[in-house]
Amino acid sequence: MCAEKILNKALSWEELSKLSTNATNHTESTTNPYSILRLFGKSEKDARVTLYRDHHAWCPYCQKVWLWLEWKQIPYRTKKVTMRCYGKKEKWYLSKVPSGMLPAIELDNQLITESDEILLELERNFGPLGRKLEDAKTLDLRRLERMLFRAWCIWLCTPALTVGQEQRRQTKFQEVARQMERELQTSTGPWLDPITDSSGTSLPGSSDVVFIPYLERMNASLAYFKGFNLRSEHPAIHNWFKSLESLDVYRGTQGDFHTHAHDLPPQMGGCWFNSNPKQKQFSMAIDSGEGLGEMETSFSMNEESHNQRPEVTALYRVLKHRHTLLDINPLDANSFDQPLRAALTCLMTGIPCAPKKGSAVGLRYLKDRISVPRDMPLLSARKFRHALEMTAQIDGSTQGPKIQTRNRFDQDPAPFIKKKL
């Protein structure tokens, strides 16, 4: 690694703590994956809804219900459950929902499963978000979303036997994506189902909420596995993403390319590469922690407040869980303590800091297992991954254990549950 300056002494935990932020009131702050109660200025007795969703915020169907509740500002509680691909399902949840499927809600103590049924019941009780879900136009858009989903699955999750077959699958996906673009182009503003809130701000409605989770995952997975830039190929979809990324509610639920590229294979039953120069370029940038810039998000932090800097948020999240992070690392806790501090020193100072010899494996293990949004927001994860890789490069090229594609048991939330995620 080439650098003009390398620090030889890492900051102490006490020194790092002084650079961190104070705890946030997650109940009344902007949308976030950490809250167990959301009130939107109302009282706790108004929380008629309990949302059961996954610990990691990986589940697209959970994200759909989560977004709807946030944009409607319906007070709700959250209880988090383990997805089967990364750990053992909780017995208390299986006694409630024997299938173990997510999401579920309790509304006035009535249990409802299946995301579409959940949204319909929420709409009956709290009113629509934009057009009604059973409006003819909304139903047409819901069918379009399923068409796009199927075209994506066929392209991503089944091996192509010939170059021509690969190309035909891409062509079919893009044909459906252009149908979505035509719907966006005939709408007023950036949304499929525009609404206006009390302040006059244009917001997405239920039809947009239906599209968001899988479009986010299509954008990430097609870049990583196919070398396909969805946003440059489909400008109207890019503008839709860009408008979403200006909203706190969406950013609070948004995953990043690295998380999706590696959480999808066990959920989808496998994802297939189309090896080409762009695919290799994109996947290397994603795996290295560099990310893909505006392909991933057009949002950037311009706030002057120290506490709003992505680096500070990343530091706070690591400090909160540092003992568990040290304990589960392939290096023992004592061996990983100084390298982790070195990476955090780099994160906060912008200057590489020398880790102990033999620490690259532990640094890259952590870099490869930061989960967005569970652990921290997208921009914070990008900064922290970069700092971990810069620190690892000082030690050498040794990689951490490979990320599994059949399961993500390396992301078992059990060690972290004692401290709320």
DSSP conformational letter for 401 = P
Tens-place pLDDT, residues 79-133:
999 998 888 999 999 999 999 999 999 999 999 999 999 999 999 999 999 999 9
Check pLDDT > 60 for residue 57.
yes
Structure tokens at 268: 């989808």
Other Cβ atoms closer than 10 A to 308: 12
Structure tokens at 341: 């501090």
Tens-place pLDDT, residues 107-119:
999 999 999 999 9
Whole-angstrom distance, CA of residue 57 vs CA of residue 335: 31
- The answer to whether the Cα torsion of 258, 261, 267, 269 is positive or negative is negative
SS3 content of the chain, % helix, strand, coil (to 5): 55, 5, 40
Q: What's the gap between Cα 326 and its chain centre?
A: 23
Task: Give the pLDDT of residue 86.
Answer: 84
What is the C-alpha end-to-end distance of the chain, expressed in Å? Answer: 35
Q: CB of 148 within 8 A of CB of 214?
A: yes
Task: Please report, for residues 325, 331, 419, the alpha-carbon distance to residue 365 in angstroms, rounded to integers and kept in the order given.
Answer: 11, 10, 21
Task: Give the pLDDT of residue 307.
Answer: 63
Confidence at 142, pLDDT banded by 50, 70, 90: very high
> In which element (H, E) is residue 113 found?
strand 110-113
In this structure, the dihedral spanned by the alpha carbons of residues 283, 55, 126 and 198, taken in order and rounded to 10 degrees, is -60
| Local structure of 49: helix, strand or coil | strand
Sorted by where each starts, the structural domains of the chain and their CATH numbers stand as 13-21+305-417 (no CATH), 37-126 (3.40.30.10), 136-295 (1.20.1050.10)
- The mean per-residue pLDDT over the stretch 40-64 comes to 96
Q: CB of 239 within 8 A of CB of 183?
A: no
- The mean per-residue pLDDT over the stretch 209-231 comes to 98
What pTM was computed for the model?
0.95
Whole-angstrom distance, CA of residue 321 vs CA of residue 340: 12
Return the exposure string of 367-384: e unless at least 16 CB atoms fall within 10 Å of the residue's CB, then b: bbbbbbbbbbbbbbbbbb
In DSSP terms, which residues pair with 214 in a beta bridge? none
Tens-place pLDDT, residues 253-279:
999 999 999 999 999 999 999 999 999
DSSP string for residues in 334-367: HHHHHHHHHHHHHHHHSS-BPPPTT-HHHHHHHH
Task: Give the pLDDT of residue 201.
Answer: 86
Other Cβ atoms closer than 10 A to 170: 18
pLDDT-above-90 percentage for the chain:
90
Structure tokens at 315: 């530091």
Task: Give the pLDDT of residue 303.
Answer: 56
Check pLDDT > 60 for residue 284.
yes
Cis peptide before 103 (omega within 30 of 0): yes
Structure tokens at 280: 């290799």
Structure tokens at 18: 């002084």
Tens-place pLDDT, residues 335-361:
999 999 999 999 999 999 999 999 999
Task: Give the pLDDT of residue 22.
Answer: 82
Confidence at 165, pLDDT banded by 50, 70, 90: very high
Q: How many residues does the chain have?
A: 421
- The mean per-residue pLDDT over the stretch 122-145 comes to 98
Task: Give the pLDDT of residue 335.
Answer: 98
Q: CB of 395 within 8 A of CB of 346?
A: no
